[in-house]
């Protein structure tokens, strides 16, 4: 290196030192700032983005299809996004018809060298706009990564500039990998709603979601739980007891009713104004809109089991430690340790 180059490099290093010091000082100042306090008032952002979580098969898609339909009939502009690899969130809304997914459409358009347009992935019925993110085929990719890719595509299509009153995100609660926790981890939504029933597995998932919200609140996040929808409510009360212990309200209790089951199975919307079940979904729509996001109180495993009778969860079972005889079919000879133990000085 020539003398002039050496001098230039030395000068650059000296000049860079103050910049590094200023950067370090700025980052330290940012780290010292306390996170925003827990939100307890009404949601004021013009578009409410709400993530709905629950165990697979618990009735999230049924609840959301009817809720979004009722909201639209009340004059709200609603977007329903299915974030489950099964891609079945919109099937009830569209009378059993499959909706082309964003991942599938994006891959096909990319191979053809064509851009994805909003009309390729977003469809509407009676004022409700809906789309499915989709997911990879079994064994061919990560569902969580598919969710992330789907939202990246939505952002390219102008997601943050769309003018909706409500955006409802239907998320699978059984899976806890990164993509499925995206709305909570990245503050993409203002509030979360859990759907559960009077069974241990669905409440375990609901409790997991509450734990995730609490975890990210401790890291400075702002997402809260607005409440719980009890689906297939048979009146035994475990889900209501969970909601009370977790400090979240019950937004609606949808009964275990044969008429609801039969109409849902035939892809019929029951949340229509003027019908038998309209008042239930009108109340749910109001509660979803007005319920503030709160910081939940997740239950411990023992507390969760305590919501159920011992016969239901097997709490009378005694854990018996296994032995080497159980594992190997013979007793293992005790071998002296080769560890060197020094006497205390």
Among residues 218, 169, 221, 214, the alpha carbon closest in space to that of 195 is found at 169
Alpha-carbon Rg of the chain, whole angstroms?
26
Q: Is 24 in the active site? A: no
Helix or strand or coil: residue 274? coil
Helix or strand or coil: residue 193? strand
- Catalytic one of 76, 86, 109, 124: 86
Q: At what angle do helices 238-246 and 200-218 cross, to 10 degrees?
A: 10
- Residue 87 · residue 101 · CB < 8 Å: yes
Distance separating alpha carbons of residues 316 and 215, to the nearest angstrom: 32
Q: Is 45 in the active site? A: no
- Catalytic one of 88, 120, 165, 174: 174
- Catalytic one of 55, 191, 232, 263: 55
First CA to last CA across the chain, in angstroms?
Answer: 60
- β-bridge mates for residue 233, sequence order: 255
Q: Is 7 in the active site? A: no
Length of the chain: 345
| Residue 256 backbone zone (phi > 0: left; psi -120 to 50: alpha; other: beta) | beta
Helix or strand or coil: residue 288? helix
Active-site annotation, residues: 55, 60, 86, 174
């Amino acid at each position: 290196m020539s003398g002039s180059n050496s001098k230039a490099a030395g000068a650059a290093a000296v000049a860079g030192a103050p910049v590094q010091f200023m950067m370090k000082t700025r980052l330290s100042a940012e780290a010292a700032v306390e996170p925003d306090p827990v939100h307890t008032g009404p949601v004021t952002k013009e578009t409410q983005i709400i993530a709905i979580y629950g165990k697979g098969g618990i009735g999230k898609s049924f609840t959301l299809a009817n809720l979004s339909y009722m909201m639209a009939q009340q004059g709200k502009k609603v977007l329903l996004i299915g974030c489950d690899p099964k891609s079945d969130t919109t099937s009830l809304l569209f009378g059993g018809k499959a909706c082309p997914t964003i991942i599938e459409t994006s891959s096909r358009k990319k191979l053809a060298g064509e851009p994805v347009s909003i009309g390729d992935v977003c469809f509407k019925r009676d004022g409700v706009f809906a789309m499915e993110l989709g997911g990879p085929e079994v064994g061919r990719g990560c569902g969580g990564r598919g969710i992330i890719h789907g939202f990246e595509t939505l952002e390219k299509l102008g997601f943050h500039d769309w003018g909706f009153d409500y955006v409802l995100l239907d998320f699978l609660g059984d899976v806890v990998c990164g993509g499925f926790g995206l709305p909570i981890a990245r503050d993409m939504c203002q509030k979360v709603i859990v759907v559960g029933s009077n069974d241990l597995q669905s409440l375990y998932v609901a409790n997991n979601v509450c734990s995730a919200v609490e975890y990210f609140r401790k890291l400075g996040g702002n997402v809260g739980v607005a409440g719980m929808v009890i689906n297939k409510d048979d009146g035994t009360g475990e889900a209501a007891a969970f909601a009370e212990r977790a400090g979240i309200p019950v937004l609606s209790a949808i009964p275990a009713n044969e008429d609801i089951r039969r109409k849902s199975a035939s892809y019929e919307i029951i949340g229509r104004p003027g019908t038998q079940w309209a008042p239930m979904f009108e109340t749910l729509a109001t509660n979803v809109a007005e319920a503030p996001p709160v910081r939940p109180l997740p239950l411990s495993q023992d507390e969760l089991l305590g919501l159920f009778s011992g016969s239901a969860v097997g709490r009378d079972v005694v854990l018996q430690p296994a032995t080497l005889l159980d594992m190997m079919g013979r007793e293992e000879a005790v071998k002296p340790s080769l560890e060197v133990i020094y006497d205390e000085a």
